[in-house]
Chains A and B, each alone.
Chain A
Amino acid sequence: MYVAGIGLLVSVAVVLQMMRERTYADGPAVPDEVLYIDSGPVIERVALSYKTVLADLYWIRALQHYGRERLKPDSTGRFALLYPLLNLTTSLDPRFTLAYRFGAIFLAEPYPGGAGKPELAIRLLEKGIRTTPAKWEYYHDVGFVYFWNLHDYLKGADWFRRGSEQPGSPWWLRTYAAAMMAKGGDRQTARVIWRNILSTSEGAWIKETARKRLLQLDALDQIDRLRQIRDEFHRRKGRSPESWEQIIAAGLLGDVPVDPAGTPYTLNFATGEIAVSGYSPLHPLPLETIPVQP
């Protein structure tokens, strides 16, 4: 009797819930994501001896925020909470290595992949260095932000050098510093750094970004070769090609060239410019970097 009564009440609750969802599909309007506490020292005190668990919760929240914002069609205010969430995570657990490294990549990464705020990435990493000054990975990541996002090769080289002076740092960090000083931001250096990030980082998103960046560097190389072919066409015919078909007909290409993600390259018939398609997952390509010394 009682069991039937409880079953009935639960069923009514389920029906009411379904009716509410049908009637108010989106529910009452709620404000965007809110951060109730944004001060590291305050939350450190509130957390008592449960700081690391709270750090884990903020870490999961940061990942969810990043994942959700990445899918947002509107670009205004995107990733606005990424830095505060990572800042709180690392205040609660100052040794949370992945939170700093995740921030280094995705705070610095330009839209649409990240917040486009390299200065915040550097601030977060410097906080990590204050906590664990011997952690070479943080110096590496600051150097990387200067190199890849800010194109400041001298500062990048300096951070790589400082990282290479930390105990247990890998031998190749010193070569980064040298390469940066000698060649600035050439593709080969970038390729080596991204390969190292791919092999030394954890976390699917960081690895996915590293793989994409490596493919983009391959695409930049391919575009260089395609430009040579276009120029060869111009030399032979005395005019610019208007389509890939004309270059194929001239015997300079076997087929329409595709980028490393499998999307055909575009050839602007008016300017002759070759680029990855807007439909390609590799679009937009990173800005080309300029060597420090000619």
Chain B
Amino acid sequence: MRAVRFIAINVFKESVRDKVLYNLVLFAIMLMAVSFLLGELTAGQDVKIIKDLGLAAIAIFGLFIATFIGIGLVSKEVERRSIYSLLSKPIRRQELILGKYLGLVLTLAVNVAAMTVAYYSVLGYMAWKAGGNFLPAWEAPAVDPMLLKAIAMIFLQLMIVTAIALLFSTFSSPALATALTLALYVVGHFNADLKNFDAVVTSRPAAFLAKTLYYTLPNLSPLDVKAQVVHAVPVPAGYLLFNTAYALVYISALLTAATVIFMRRDFK
């Protein structure tokens, strides 16, 4: 476990050195600028729009970090040939994969936490400007703890995307890994259509294939509860627990696959 921790902290330090955290400044500036500009444009919907925009920005910034750093986690080590010195140390390959993954998840956690603080600060400012945290015209308070549910689900999505990127990073080039990761992210939001494919096709094998893909491909759309929390629609704790369990199991499967592929790779 010491090796895993060591690798994870190094991945985090490297991302800090690579100025990944600069995106936080961009996020904060964007939210503040938008909060000042929106009042005139939105006919009283500025708090709703700040909530929507903040959650979407957390998801997009996180997606870019998860994808573009995730795809380089292993392939960069191979390209730079630093993989040889790493593997010559008393580190098992599965520890390397897990450490790399946890390092990027730590980077994402710090990012998402900092963005959440900036997000709530802007919402607090909006509430103060409006003269109260909950006006009758709003569906939910401006500074609403329920938003954390959506942020937690975004973080789970990012954890899955990181695992996908890491998996592709173990056997393909960065460009191909990026394309495949983003494609799976898109499919992950589309695949509810696969579930009901039998309603539009008559071929039973095609319907069976669609259903199989539905259950095997990452299903990210249930993890999207942004609209529900913004509109104060209750999101049951059981639903969040199922999502969390699903994400953790799926991530385990992806990391296991990444480890198996990585262990079979010959770097001689």
Shortest Cβ distance from A53 into B: residue: B56
Q: Nearest-CB distance from A209 to chain B (Å)?
A: 12
Specify which of B43, B230, B233 is in contact with A63 (CB 8 Å cutoff): B43
Question: Inside 8 A of A102's CB, which chain B residues have their CB?
Answer: 43
Question: Inside 8 A of A48's CB, which chain B residues have their CB?
Answer: 186, 189-190
Cβ-based interface call for B100 (8 A): no
- Decide if the interface of chain A is mainly helix, strand, loop or mixed: helix
Cβ-based interface call for B227 (8 A): yes
Specify which of B42, B157, B226, B231 is in contact with A60 (CB 8 Å cutoff): B42
Taking a contact as CB atoms under 8 Å apart, the answer to whether A45 and B44 are in contact is: no
Shortest Cβ distance from A47 into B: residue: B189
Q: Which of A56, A59, A60, A204 has the most CB of B within 10 A?
A: A56
For window 41-61 of B, CB contacts with A under 8 Å fall at: 41-45, 48-49, 52-53, 55-56, 59-60
Cβ-based interface call for A21 (8 A): no
Taking a contact as CB atoms under 8 Å apart, the answer to whether A203 and B227 are in contact is: no
Q: Nearest-CB distance from A26 to chain B (Å)?
A: 25
Taking a contact as CB atoms under 8 Å apart, the answer to whether B227 and A93 are in contact is: yes
Cβ-based interface call for B14 (8 A): no
Q: Give the bracket for the number of chain B residues in contact with chain A.
A: 20 to 34
Taking a contact as CB atoms under 8 Å apart, the answer to whether A59 and B45 are in contact is: yes
Per-position binary interface string of chain A over residues 270-283, scored 1 when its CB falls under 8 Å from any chain B CB and 0 otherwise: 00000000000000
> Interface residues of A, CB < 8 Å — how many?
23
Per-position binary interface string of chain B over residues 185-212, scored 1 when its CB falls under 8 Å from any chain A CB and 0 otherwise: 0100110010000000000000000000
Q: Nearest-CB distance from A188 to chain B (Å)?
A: 26
Per-position binary interface string of chain B over residues 110-148, scored 1 when its CB falls under 8 Å from any chain A CB and 0 otherwise: 000000000000000000000000000101000000000
Per-position binary interface string of chain B over residues 82-112, scored 1 when its CB falls under 8 Å from any chain A CB and 0 otherwise: 0000000000000000000000000000000
Specify which of B43, B220, B221, B227 is in contact with A52 (CB 8 Å cutoff): B227
Cβ-based interface call for A51 (8 A): yes
Taking a contact as CB atoms under 8 Å apart, the answer to whether B52 and A202 are in contact is: no
The 5 closest A-B pairs by CB, nearest first: A203-B43, A202-B44, A202-B137, A53-B56, A49-B224
Question: Inside 8 A of B224's CB, which chain A residues have their CB?
Answer: 49
